[in-house]
Amino acid sequence: MADPAISYDYIYPFSSEFVSEESGGRLRLAASKIEDKFPYFFEGEILQPNVTAQMLLNLAKIVTTRFYYPPNMLRRIIEERDPVITSGGGFLRFEGFSVCAGAYARVDISPDGYRGEVVGKGTTNVDFNAPTRRELALVRDGSRLTFCVGEEELKLEHEGSSLVERKVELPKRWIKGFVEVQAYQAKMKPRFVLSGQEVLRFLRSLPRNVGSKAEFYVVPTGNGKSLRLSQRADSSGEAVKIAGMKRLNVLADLAPFADRLEVFATDDNQSTEWRIESKSGGISFVLTITADLYRGFSGEGQVLSELASMDGAFEKNLARVYAGLNWQSCIKADSFGSQIGSQIGIDQDSAGRSLATLGSRGLVGYDLNQGGYFHRELPFRIEEVESVHPRLIGARKLIEKGGVKVQGKVDGVLRAEVEGSGVVHIVKIGAGTEAVCTCPWHSKYQGKRGFCKHILAVLMEAEDGE
């Protein structure tokens, strides 16, 4: 059964502006339609049509694929193929998740990848239906391919054909996926870089007929200029763990167009990112996957601590930092924090933390290539973010029924007792992100999938008690 979709509001009308033209100029008002035409915030001809089409087809392939089927679920494909499209800072970005939410894909088109004008800024999400995918499959080098993106639709024009995709509702698990994936990306570090023929060789060598539970390690060879798969990690400590190989196989279709492959991973290999840069430049394809095939980003909990530990003062600072966003394509936490912090009177660390928290609300994404956030506002109400996190809801219920008893700090470690199902759990929270709980959830995952509801409840109770 498909996840329910939710209603949403757009809160980002495009900016009014004066547009220069050969005849002189005109004032373009955000609230009006010009000559009864829909006001697109991006209109441009794609300079590398074939590569762009292939990357978008691969993104469409990912968002219509369920790489993992839970044991209690019928094997049926849920047809949801609604990429989120953002125009800001000169970039046009297409984002989406697989049906199981275990793979995130993004196509970035930089100003070098199109010829046209960005007449506004905004985000929308549309359905990539069968006619659009068929038209993209017909695109070749030398074709004329143009995109017009507005708040309500995407129009694709190719060799005389014109297709329009309308705005659709965003699935609930995509909301959780978007706010979680950026939390992983912000923690990733570069591991490997391949270029030229080595990219093609490695991607073509990926096995296609392996079991869903098979695990591999990507290890460097030839002084780091090549990569190979191994069934165990090497002694260098650089190996990147991969499970669910069929997710990575999607990249093999893009091998002929790839000039550069960059691999990123978190320190604990809980998530990896694979970025392909096209030979022609101006366009790239990003694939981010979870450590295990059965794990979806929508089920992770990396942002829960950010959502739980916010007081009134921090909320006020958060609003000020949010006001400084202006659809930038790259927002580096240090420089942005220094700039905004001096303007609104908060320290750089608080401004940087505010950016991470805005990510937990879907208001920014993360671009590892540029090493910073990009402004993107997902089409849902901010207050609905918390409603899709069961652990956060459970934590608030524990507090409401008086099930949390904070006992104070000993040697800098906060200790508390939290009611469970017929048992009392002991929670200890130290400096930074150090936290332990005696519940089965924490024992199983050791914090790798975010905090359990008991730790979250203590964080919120302690915050309110200060």
8-17 residue pLDDT tens = 444 444 454 5
N- to C-terminal Cα separation, the chain: 44
- Average pLDDT of the chain? 81
In the prediction, which pLDDT does 110 show?
94
- Residue pair 51/257 in contact (Cβ under 8 Å)? The answer is yes
Given phi > 0 = left and psi -120 to 50 = alpha, else beta, which region is 223?
A: left
Is residue 291 scored above 60 in pLDDT? yes
Question: pLDDT-based confidence at 190, cuts 50/70/90?
Answer: very high
In the prediction, which pLDDT does 16 show?
45
What pTM value is reported for the model? Answer: 0.79
pLDDT: which is higher, 82 or 195: 195
Is residue 4 scored above 80 in pLDDT? no
Percent with pLDDT over 90 in the chain? 35
Would you tell me the crossing angle of helices 312-323 and 333-344 to the nearest 10 degrees?
Answer: 110
Is residue 1 scored above 50 in pLDDT? no
CA–CA separation, 406 vs 459, rounded Å? Answer: 10
- Residue pair 185/191 in contact (Cβ under 8 Å)? The answer is no
In the prediction, which pLDDT does 455 show?
92
- Residue pair 360/374 in contact (Cβ under 8 Å)? The answer is no
- Residue pair 183/359 in contact (Cβ under 8 Å)? The answer is yes
In the prediction, which pLDDT does 390 show?
80
Given phi > 0 = left and psi -120 to 50 = alpha, else beta, which region is 2?
A: beta
Percent with pLDDT over 70 in the chain? 78
Among 55, 175, 153, CA closest to 110 = 55
283's CB contacts (< 8 A; 6+ apart) are: 48, 51, 52, 55, 107, 108, 109, 110, 113
Among 252, 196, 181, CA closest to 226 = 196
- Residue pair 298/310 in contact (Cβ under 8 Å)? The answer is no
pLDDT: which is higher, 134 or 34: 134
In the prediction, which pLDDT does 24 show?
47
Is residue 88 scored above 80 in pLDDT? yes
Question: pLDDT-based confidence at 466, cuts 50/70/90?
Answer: low
In the prediction, which pLDDT does 13 show?
46
In the prediction, which pLDDT does 388 show?
65
CA–CA separation, 386 vs 297, rounded Å? Answer: 15
Q: Which two tokens stand for residue 304?
A: 């829960």
CA–CA separation, 282 vs 63, rounded Å? Answer: 23
- Residue pair 63/105 in contact (Cβ under 8 Å)? The answer is yes
Among 87, 174, 204, 145, CA closest to 362 = 174
In the prediction, which pLDDT does 392 show?
82
- Residue pair 458/429 in contact (Cβ under 8 Å)? The answer is yes
In the prediction, which pLDDT does 333 show?
74
In the prediction, which pLDDT does 303 show?
65
Is residue 111 scored above 90 in pLDDT? yes
In the prediction, which pLDDT does 198 show?
94
CA–CA separation, 444 vs 166, rounded Å? Answer: 43
Is residue 37 scored above 80 in pLDDT? no
pLDDT: which is higher, 347 or 98: 98
CA–CA separation, 285 vs 261, rounded Å? Answer: 10
In the prediction, which pLDDT does 378 show?
77
Q: Which whole-number Å values give the CA distances from 463 to 321, 409, 412, 439, in the listed order? A: 21, 14, 16, 22
Radius of gyration in angstroms for the set of CA atoms belonging to the chain, rounded to a whole number: 23
Question: pLDDT-based confidence at 113, cuts 50/70/90?
Answer: very high
HEC secondary structure over the chain: CCCCECCCCCCCCCCCEEEEECCEEEEECCCCCECCECCCCEEEEECCHHHHHHHHHHHHHHHCCCCCCCCCCCCCCCCCCCCEEEEECCEEEEEEECCCCCEEEEEEECHHHEEEECCCCEEEEECCCHHHHHHHHCCCCCCCEEEEECCCEEEEEECCEEEEEEECCCEHHHHHHHHHHHHHHCCCEEEEEEECHHHHHHHHCCCCCCCCCCEEEEEEECCCCEEEEECCCCCCCCCEEEECHHHHHHHHHHHHHEEEEEEEECCCCCEEEEEEEECCCCEEEEEEEECCCCCCHHHCCCCHHHHHCCCHHHHHHHHHHHHCCCCCCCECHHHHHHHHHHHHCCCHHHHHHHHHHHHHCCCEEEECCCCEEEECCCCCCCCHHHHCCHHHHHHHHHHHCCCEEEEEEECCEEEEEEECCCCEEEEEECCCCCEEECCHHHHHHCCECECCHHHHHHHHHHHHHC
CA–CA separation, 341 vs 357, rounded Å? Answer: 16
